[in-house]
Structure 1
Amino acid sequence: MPDPIRLATRASRLALWQTEHVASLLNQAGLPTEIVPMQTIGDKVLDRSLTKIGAKGVFTEELEESLRRGETHLAIHSAKDVQSTIPPDLELLAFLEREQVNDVVISFQEDFDLAKPGIMLGTSSTRRRALLRRFYPLAGTAEARGNLQTRLRKLEEGQYDALVLAYAGVHRMGYDGLIRHVLPADRFVPPVGQGSIAVESSRFLDNELKAKIKQALDHPDTHRCLLAERAFLRTMEGGCSIPSFALATLTSAGDVRLHGGIISLSGEEYVDFTQTAPAAQAEGLGMAVAEHVLGQGGSAILASIREQRGEL
């Protein structure tokens, strides 16, 4: 077994926080670790939106290549950044317990009002932009790339009145005091995986070691929910540049409830569906919800988005 276990991570403060958290859990289980920071294409190319970079796995590819070369043993990702389909030589070993899933609005203006006409909101997410156009049509949106600290600097410079971000990152970096609005998760449904940390390895990593890693890191309830969400995303054939969304939760009876859907770029067209199934059928549930959404107009929304982007 490797000694230490080498953890590949993006070099941002948030990514390093997440990887240090993983390392601490592994250390508690008696598994020594070493953190290996690196830059991904999504970190290097900041003058274009994610949809215009055009690459799949913009925040994961370099980390995955280090697994293949045997330079590292685990890659630590924000679960929402992981592609819907994992290459056959790699696997997702664990999902850590999920943080609160909501999107939040942060601002240096203590009296910031999301309903005020003419405000400018910074976000790099097509899903958030579309939902803001639907629910807050008087607000403008502007591209906000870069790590959290870079975005906060742009906010302080006045490029935006507020930023729309995931609560998990804001909370983990200690910026709770800037939160002005917590957006309801039943309207601003999060993207697949938001709030969880995913741990990826080569399929050829020692099986005994993989079992120890999973035991130390995996949160079974979160894992069940993400199985449903990721099956939804695979069936939708959407990535981070498609404004789809899905949130799975566990009922009091232990079943999985999945709310998934898609919204047009303009925010005018919106298709969603909610269904519940036994936890053992989580992946089938994700596929069923996606197929229903596609059949009720989701396919037309997807086709329109791809046509607008010149992908057809």
Structure 2
Amino acid sequence: MIRIGTRESQLAVWQASQVKNLLSEQGVEAELVYIKSEGDVDLKTPLYEMGVQGIFTRSLDIALLNNKIDMAVHSMKDVPTQLPEGIAQAAVLKRASWKDLLIYKGEHFTFDSELAAASCIIATSSIRRKAQWLNRYPHHTIENLRGNVNTRLRKLEESNWNGAIFAAAGLERIGLRPHNSMELDWMLPAPAQGAITVACRSNHEKLLEICNRFNDTDTALCTKIERDFLRALLGGCSTPISALATISNNRVVFNGNILSVDGKHKVELHKSLAVTEAIEAGKSFASELLANGGQEIADGIQKNNGR
């Protein structure tokens, strides 16, 4: 019996259950093991003040290395770009929507012009979303919003905020996307947003081989490029870095950016190259972005973070 480690939130359990079903299709029996993460315990501190990367994965990593579970299932955007020694990426599932959503109060803000004209209070705990939002709507106010999907929806309903930003994939997976929502097509996602990844101990060769059977190679390549881009720049929830790689006609189309925390400064990159040339592209994309104005923003972020 394979033990699948998961956080206790509705979304995390849904994701782990998908992996359980995929294992069942391979004739492998599995059970879910629930583990509480630091990110689930502290629901007040903004994510970018909590030691950043690994806040939702550390407890599962420890359980994996201590042989309390055999695999862990994560939202891939939560996983540090450098895995702990002894842990390997076993599979990446086919990506769902990479987009962010604005859930707004009532029936308002269905058009960009309304948002631009209004003085709004928008909630998010993501420094990436905050920076991109303020870059587009500098006159708006951003409030912190923490908790799992259900908790954040409740807090939005009980607040005086005009809206809050969520990942589309998370809401859609558990059937909670409300009608009063709009896709933010202009907002670039966090690297690997919308993807689910499976981690195993690196010496568990049989399980790694089984998981590889349901690995989606296109999603694995795109998320590798995005995460390499993130790692080569700065690296975590405390940096307003966005990246999206997609594949069309055997070519990788890449869009990435870095913003100052206040959203006043932004440097973007748009690239296209053949799939066969793309495996190490994330690092070169990051170098190009830094050379074309991104370094100044990165230095400012590092200074503000006390590095």
Q: Does the pair score TM above 0.5?
A: yes
**Which residue identity is paired with 1:257?**
V
Mapped contact 1:39–1:62 kept (Cα < 8 A): yes
Q: Please list the CA deviations of residues 139-193 of structure 1 after superposition, one character each: whole Å capped at 9, or x if unmatched.
A: 2210001011111111111242211011001111212233421111xx3110100
CA distance in 1, matches of 2:73, 2:160: 31
Q: What residue is the counterpart of 2:187 in the other structure?
A: 188
CA distance in 2, matches of 1:241, 1:55: 6
Aligned residue pairs: how many? 303
Mapped contact 1:110–1:180 kept (Cα < 8 A): no
Mapped contact 1:112–1:180 kept (Cα < 8 A): no
2:230 alignment partner, one of 218, 229, 233: 233
Q: What residue is the counterpart of 1:123 in the other structure?
A: 124
Q: What residue is the counterpart of 2:91 in the other structure?
A: 94
TM-superposed CA distance for 1:115, in Å, is 3.5
TM-superposed CA distance for 1:264, in Å, is 0.8
1:101-250 correspondence runs (5 A): 101-113=98-110, 114-184=115-185, 187-205=186-204, 207-215=205-213, 217-250=214-247
Mapped contact 1:249–1:257 kept (Cα < 8 A): yes
Mapped contact 1:104–1:179 kept (Cα < 8 A): no
Q: CA RMSD in A?
A: 1.5
Mapped contact 1:108–1:178 kept (Cα < 8 A): no
CA distance in 2, matches of 1:169, 1:81: 13
CA distance in 2, matches of 1:272, 1:23: 39
TM-score (normalised: structure 2): 0.94
The DSSP-based 3-state class of the residue aligned with 1:115 is helix
Return closer, same or farther for 1:167/1:229 CA change in 2, 3 Å cut-off: same
CA distance in 2, matches of 1:118, 1:108: 14
Mapped contact 2:52–2:238 kept (Cα < 8 A): no
Q: What residue is the counterpart of 2:299 in the other structure?
A: 303
TM-superposed CA distance for 1:239, in Å, is 0.8
**Which residue identity is paired with 1:196?**
A
Q: What residue is the counterpart of 1:15 in the other structure?
A: 12
Mapped contact 1:276–1:285 kept (Cα < 8 A): no
Return closer, same or farther for 1:116/1:152 CA change in 2, 3 Å cut-off: farther
Q: What residue is the counterpart of 2:258 in the other structure?
A: 262
TM-score (normalised: structure 1): 0.93
Return closer, same or farther for 1:223/1:179 CA change in 2, 3 Å cut-off: farther
**Which residue identity is paired with 1:220?**
T
TM-superposed CA distance for 1:108, in Å, is 4.2
TM-superposed CA distance for 1:225, in Å, is 0.7
CA distance in 2, matches of 1:64, 1:159: 38
CA distance in 2, matches of 1:275, 1:303: 24
Return closer, same or farther for 1:283/1:233 CA change in 2, 3 Å cut-off: farther
Q: Please list the CA deviations of residues 223-280 of structure 1 after superposition, one character each: whole Å capped at 9, or x if unmatched.
A: 111111111111113112210011001021x122221120111212111112223323
Q: Please list the CA deviations of residues 282-312 of structure 1 after superposition, one character each: whole Å capped at 9, or x if unmatched.
A: 3321111100111112121111122223x13
**Which residue identity is paired with 1:29?**
Q
CA distance in 2, matches of 1:211, 1:287: 28
TM-superposed CA distance for 1:116, in Å, is 4.7
Mapped contact 1:9–1:16 kept (Cα < 8 A): yes
The DSSP-based 3-state class of the residue aligned with 2:73 is strand
TM-superposed CA distance for 1:211, in Å, is 1.1
TM-superposed CA distance for 1:281, in Å, is 3.3
CA distance in 1, matches of 2:138, 2:237: 23
Mapped contact 2:234–2:298 kept (Cα < 8 A): no
**Which residue identity is paired with 2:145?**
A
CA distance in 2, matches of 1:47, 1:258: 34
Return closer, same or farther for 1:42/1:159 CA change in 2, 3 Å cut-off: farther
**Which residue identity is paired with 1:214?**
N
**Which residue identity is paired with 1:21?**
Q
Structure 1: stretches of 5+ with no match in the other structure: none
Mapped contact 1:229–1:247 kept (Cα < 8 A): yes
**Which residue identity is paired with 2:161?**
Y
CA distance in 1, matches of 2:160, 2:78: 26
The DSSP-based 3-state class of the residue aligned with 1:170 is helix
